[in-house]
Each structure stands twice: as structure tokens, then as C-alpha cells.
């Protein structure tokens, strides 16, 4: 890789922005695609760029053929910013979900203004935010690489967090609770002016239906659903 292209890639990653490095395996020419522009000595047509855009969220590098010609191939290297998980509620499930998500490559933040819950003894190595959820989520600047999961069952904490998440590009929004609890939650959010299309973004009850009982099993179901939505974004997911 030429130094100018490497410098541009490093600058993009420092700013935690997405980038894609495309290498022509025949000529060795390269192109760096960012959210703003493209750089390098390789020119890509709009069809290739559109195909790369569809691949972007998958976090999987791959080789593609140009125009159906297997002898002319491009290697696509995806550079996405870190995945983030914002957990609202420093409860028992959060104690297992936070480290599991960290192992899966997420930068995890637990948000809870209740000081007796949000302690480093209960969440070793996890970032804690002890302000009110709506204020903390605004500070965290949720983007398309962010998941938000509310766990408190307390409308004073969960509802403002969900409203903030719905106003963002967060790729996943989940809320813990039974189906009846979720219906009550949706009704409250409707009263705040949330539209039905917005409310469909909330996975509730959060987690894949795998018969989870313990906090650890519930955490597995939540992380599995997050993974499914991240990597198969065009599929209609059922809870």
C-alpha cells in the first residue's frame, strides 16, 4: 500500500469512521472508499461500489469478480469502527451480558444513575456512565455500529433511553420484559409521539427465543439477536 493511502486509512480509523480498501488482484492497484470520497489509483464503477456498500455492515472481507469474470477479481477489506453496546441498567443480566459482549468485540458501556448498582466491583473492566440514560446516550453519540439494550423494567430509565435510541442510527435497540410489559411500553412511547415505524425497531422482548431462563442464558439470547441483526440486516427477524 502506498504511504498516502495508508495515511488516509489511518486517519479515517482514528476518527472511528468506516473505510473499505479495494485491491485489484490483477494489477495491484488500490482504492480506499470512505464515507466522504474515494482515493487511490483504482477506479471503481457505481455497480461495484453499490455491491461493496451492501457488504459493509457484515465485517467480512471477501473477493469478488468484476463483471462476472473470475479472472478479474477484487479483494475487499472492510475497516469498520468498533462495535459498541450501551446497556441501560446495571442489573444481574447486565453483569453477564457486558463481559460476553466485550469478548465478542464490543466496546461496552453500562448506564445507570443508581450508584449502588453501577459499581466497578460489579462490573470490573467495564465503562460505567452514572448520569440519566437520555443524557448519557446523547453524550455517547450513537451511530450505526451501536446497539442499545434496556434492562431496568423502570419506565423512568428505560423509556427516555429508548426515545434517544430511536432518534439515532443505532443498528439494534432491545428492551427486556414480558410481551405484556412490552405492549405497555409501546403504548407509553406512542403517547410521546413515536410512530409505528419507529417502534418496529425495538426488539421486545429482547433476545432470540431459545428458552432462556438464567441471566447468563438470557444474555446469550440477547447477544445472539444482536449478532443476527448486525450480520443479516435485510432479514426479517422474529423474537
Residues with Cβ < 8 Å from 135, sequence gap 6 or more?
Answer: none
Task: State the Cα–Cα distance between residues 54 and 57, nearest whole angstrom.
Answer: 7
> The domain containing residue 21 runs over which residues?
3-79
Residue-wise pLDDT for 153-169, tens only, equals: 999 999 999 999 999 99
Between 234 and 112, name the one with better pLDDT: 112
Question: Is residue 205 reached through a cis peptide bond, with omega within 30 degrees of 0 on the bond before it?
Answer: yes
Residue 188 belongs to domain with CATH number: 3.40.50.720
Residues with Cβ < 8 Å from 56, sequence gap 6 or more?
Answer: 18, 20, 78, 80
Confidence check: pLDDT of 35 > 90: no
Task: State the Cα–Cα distance between residues 138 and 55, nearest whole angstrom.
Answer: 28
Which of the listed residues 79, 94, 122 is the one where a domain comes to its end? 79
Which of the listed residues 47, 79, 111 is the one where a domain comes to its end? 79
Residue-wise pLDDT for 68-109, tens only, equals: 777 789 999 988 888 999 999 999 999 999 999 999 999 999
Residue-wise pLDDT for 199-219, tens only, equals: 999 999 999 999 999 999 999
Confidence check: pLDDT of 56 > 80: no
Amino acid at each position: 500500500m502506498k504511504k498516502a493511502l495508508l495515511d488516509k486509512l489511518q486517519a479515517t480509523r482514528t476518527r472511528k469512521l468506516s473505510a473499505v480498501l479495494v485491491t485489484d488482484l490483477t494489477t495491484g492497484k488500490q482504492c480506499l472508499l470512505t464515507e466522504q470520497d474515494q482515493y487511490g489509483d483504482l477506479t471503481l464503477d457505481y455497480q461495484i461500489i453499490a455491491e461493496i456498500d451492501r457488504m459493509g455492515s457484515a465485517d467480512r472481507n471477501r473477493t469478488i469478480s468484476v463483471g462476472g469474470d473470475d479472472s478479474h477479481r477484487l479483494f475487499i477489506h472492510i475497516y469498520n469502527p468498533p462495535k459498541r453496546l450501551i446497556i441501560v441498567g446495571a442489573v444481574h443480566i447486565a453483569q453477564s451480558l457486558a463481559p460476553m459482549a466485550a469478548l465478542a468485540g464490543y466496546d461496552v458501556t453500562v448506564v445507570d444513575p443508581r450508584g449502588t448498582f453501577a459499581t466497578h466491583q460489579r462490573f470490573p473492566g467495564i465503562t460505567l456512565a452514572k448520569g440519566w440514560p437520555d443524557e448519557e446516550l446523547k453524550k455517547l453519540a450513537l451511530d450505526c455500529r451501536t446497539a442499545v439494550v434496556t434492562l431496568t423494567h423502570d419506565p423512568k430509565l428505560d423509556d427516555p433511553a429508548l426515545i434517544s435510541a430511536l432518534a439515532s442510527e443505532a443498528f439494534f435497540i432491545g428492551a427486556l420484559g414480558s410481551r405484556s410489559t412490552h405492549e405497555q411500553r409501546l403504548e407509553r412511547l406512542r403517547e410521546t409521539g413515536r410512530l409505528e415505524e419507529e417502534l418496529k425497531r425495538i426488539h421486545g422482548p429482547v433476545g432470540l427465543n431459545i428458552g432462556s431462563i438464567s441471566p447468563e442464558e438470557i444474555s446469550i439470547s440477547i447477544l445472539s439477536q444482536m449478532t443476527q441483526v448486525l450480520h443479516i440486516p435485510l432479514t426479517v427477524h422474529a423474537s
